[in-house]
Each structure stands twice: as C-alpha cells, then as structure tokens.
Amino acid sequence: MIKVFQTRYGKKEGNCFQAALASLFELEFEEVPDFCNIYETEDSEEWYEQFVKWLNLRGFSSLTIEVDDDLG
C-alpha cells in the first residue's frame, strides 16, 4: 500500500474515496476515477455501480454488510 492524499475537501466536493482506492491498489491518483463526484446524483447509485465494474475489471468485487440499527 502507498500513501495517496486527497486533493479536495468537503462533504460533497472531497475526493477521499478516490485517494483511498489509489492507496490500496497502489495506483497513481489520476488512474482512479472520482466515482462519488462523477456519477453522483441525488437519487442515484450510479457511482456505486461504476465502482463495482471498476473493481471487477481488476479481479475484485464489493461486499455489502447490512447492520441492524436495533443492536445499538
């Protein structure tokens, strides 16, 4: 793993997810799409679908774990 730092900050404008992926996959920052900002709309999960496709091309997949809020 290599350290890659985000270049934009803010709840909607930040690119920490892009930087985290670049770090984990040991890629240059520019090699990772900014999924959250390119594909995000108010009611769309398009960014996640594109992220999963990107992972699949690299031989990986995504796992979602739902947590019961009643567990406190």
Tell me: the pLDDT tens digits for 43-58?
A: 678 888 899 999 999 9
Position 3 confidence tier, pLDDT thresholds 50, 70, 90: very high
AA identity, residue 25: F
Greatest CA span in the chain, whole angstroms?
Answer: 41
The answer to whether 50 and 39 are in contact (CB under 8 A) is: yes
Q: Are 3 and 23 in contact, with CB atoms under 8 Å apart?
A: yes
Q: What is the pLDDT of residues 17-38, one digit of tens each?
A: 999 999 999 999 999 999 888 8
Rounded Cα distance, 36 and 51, in Å:
9
